[in-house]
Amino acid sequence: MSYDSSTPAVCTVAGSNVSINSAGICTLVALQAGDANYTAAPSQSQSVTIDKASQTISFSSFPPPNAQVGGSYNVAANGGASGNAISFSVDSGSLSVCSISGTLVSFNGAGNCSINANQLGNANYSDAIQVQQTVSIGQGGSGVSISSSQNPSQPGQAVTFTVSVAFDPNKSAALQAKAAPVPTGTVEIMDGATSLGSAGLVNGVATITAVLPGTAVTHSLVANYSGDANYPAGQSEAFIQSIAATAPTPVPSLSQWALALLSLVLGGFAAMGVRRSRMN
């Protein structure tokens, strides 16, 4: 007996060993030659369906430890024999927590960020089963700062203080400088144990107008931030607001009109004196 393949693109035969070359229908042919007494046997064929081979994906990147809002990492994975590129995407349940551009995953909110990896198949390999890598993201750092509309200010003067809350990359060296979610919540300005007022953040900024109490020349103020889902509560560094010394009340000066009127009056008295002297 001898064997052959009528579909060499799908399979080939060497002796009695069949090699699978691709997915599809493999048709094998069996042959038997005749001799002096027997004619050659009619050939017989047998068809075998060759399915696509499977392929798998494995992540080669590792979730960063202590991931925080404002950070990022590059995701990577190894795929199967189809040779197609692996595509990465943010799972639908994590769209509010993270985003991806190419292979760079950015942490936009606190929570679990799940990244999906997929690889398409081809004529011989099936699509790889989707795999997922999850990163637990904690709150980012809160940078709180104060500025005032006038410093030094006058005694009894109302001063408008501006408090800004933003992502603070200095809280963790692992965080990269990038746009982070806009902080929400409230801030309160304290002058020692005295509250100068509180206000809610709008686009990460709050304004509070107050008259500083007492007669102190300088006031050491701090702003306390309430925190939100993405930013922890925090406090600003001390902000020194100075009060100017009370200036002496200036002596009113005569205006030009007053000087002109005085000159006319004095001129009138002088004229009356001359008239009296002539009468005498």
Would you list the DSSP string of 27-71? EEEEEE---SSSPPEEEEEEEEEEPPBP---EE-S-PPTT-BTT-
Render pLDDT for 6-62 as a digit per residue (tens, 0 to 9): 999 999 999 999 999 999 999 999 999 999 999 999 999 999 999 999 999 999 999
What's the longest Cα–Cα distance across the chain? 186
Round the average pLDDT of the chain to a whole number and report it: 87
Domain at 142-242: CATH architecture: Sandwich (2.60)
pLDDT for res 176: 44
Beta pairing partners, 188: 198, 224
Alpha-carbon gap, residue 124 to 80, rounded angstroms: 11
pLDDT for res 266: 59
Q: Is the dihedral of CA 20, 26, 27, 30 positive or negative?
A: positive
Could you check whether the bond before residue 169 is cis, i.e. omega within 30 degrees of 0?
no
Q: Which amino acid is at 4?
A: D
Tell me what the mean pLDDT of segment 219-237 comes to: 93
- Token pair 């042919």 is at which residue? 29
Res 116 pLDDT > 90: yes
Res 278 pLDDT > 60: no
- CATH 2.60.40.1940 range(s) for the chain read 142-242
pLDDT for res 255: 59
- Give the Å distances, CA to CA, from 114 to 16, 131, 132, 259: 50, 10, 6, 85
pLDDT for res 49: 94
Res 279 pLDDT > 90: no
Region 58-137: CATH code: 2.60.40
pLDDT for res 174: 44
Render pLDDT for 168-202 as a digit per residue (tens, 0 to 9): 766 544 444 455 688 999 999 999 999 999 999 99
Q: Which residues of 64-73 are buried (b: 16+ CB within 10 A; e: fewer)?
A: beebbbbbbb
pLDDT for res 214: 79
- With cut-offs at 50, 70 and 90, classify the pLDDT of residue 274: very low
User: What is the separation of C-alpha 278 from the centre of its chain, rounded to a whole number of angstroms?
Assistant: 98
The pair phi, psi for residue 244, each rounded to 5°, is: -70, 145
- Tell which residue, 197, 203, 210, 199, has the closest CA to residue 160: 210
pLDDT for res 216: 81
pTM of the model: 0.64
- CA dihedral in degrees (88, 93, 96, 99; nearest 10)? 0
Contact in structure between 81 and 23 (CB atoms under 8 Å): no
pLDDT for res 182: 87
User: Percent of the chain having pLDDT more than 90?
Assistant: 71
The pair phi, psi for residue 41, each rounded to 5°, is: -75, 145
pLDDT for res 247: 53
By CB atoms closer than 10 A (0-12, 13-18, 19+), residue 17 is: exposed
Q: Which amino acid is at 227?
A: G
- With cut-offs at 50, 70 and 90, classify the pLDDT of residue 125: very high
pLDDT for res 186: 97
* Entry field: residues in the chain: 280
Beta strands 77-78 and 142-148 are unpaired
